[in-house]
Structure formats: C-alpha cells, structure tokens
Copies of this chain bind each other. A is one copy, B any other.
C-alpha cells in the first residue's frame, strides 16, 4: 500500500485488457476466469489444495457443506482447465489424490490479492447492503 486513495482514479499499472470487442460475442479471458472461479465452491477447493494435496473425502470433510456431486463437478472443472491434477492409486479401497498444478498454484497469488480486498472491505459492503436495501428512489 503506497499511494492508496488520493481521490485520483488511480492509473492502475495493469490497464485491464480493454473493455471488450463489443461485437464479439465470446467473452474476454478475464470474464472467463471470473466465471470459472466465481461459482460456489471452486475457490474453497483451490485454497484447500493450496495448502497441500488432498484426497476426495478429505476435501469433503474440509468443506463440510459441499455435496458429493458438487465436489466432483468442481474438481472435474478444475482438472479440465489444468489447474488441478488427479492422481489415482489403484488400491483397495481406491484412493485419489488431488493437487494443484503449477498453473493452479500460480492462481493463488492474484487470488490472495482479491481475498485481501474482500476481507478488508467486506464490512463496508455489508453496511452498504443494509442501508441500500433498495429504498424507493426519491419518488
């Protein structure tokens, strides 16, 4: 935190990859990533796997509220995108280990930036939600 809120729009060292083509109907990478990790469980799983590799039911116990189905789906999505590696041990009973790939680990860093912002400003957002519970506009 150096020059924080001086009132100036803050010229951002990374200009965010341009508004969008407009007439292009496929979305920009940013939106794409946001939608991938913006679901209900992905971030939780990534964070857990960021600590160490986990087995399936280990993740399940770590999250608790997640259903078996959603954990599978979440892991499949992450695996498909190359963020998580799935390693099967042909034992009896079978066991499967999930771990972040280097690509997946590289996500932890920008994610932590957003996490810090979220934790820091969550009270302000919550407050704004309470106040601005859509009171009729002037009328």
Contact = CB atoms under 8 A, between A and B. Distances in A.
B12 A82 contact: no
A129 interface: yes
A44 B63 contact: no
A48 to B, nearest CB: 5
Contacts of A50: 9, 12, 16
**Size band of the interface chain A makes with B:** 35 or more
A69 interface: no
A136 interface: no
B114 A29 contact: no
Contacts of A103: 121, 124-125, 128
A16 B124 CA distance: 19
B108 A111 contact: no
Interface of A: 4-5, 7, 9-10, 12-17, 19-20, 22-23, 25, 27-35, 37-40, 43-44, 47-48, 50-51, 61-65, 76, 79-83, 88, 102-103, 105-119, 121-122, 124-125, 127-129, 132-134, 137-138
8 contacts: A17-B115, A30-B43, A30-B115, A33-B122, A34-B43, A35-B40, A80-B132, A81-B132
Given A19-B51, A82-B127, 7 more contacts: A7-B102, A19-B44, A19-B62, A20-B63, A25-B65, A35-B40, A103-B125
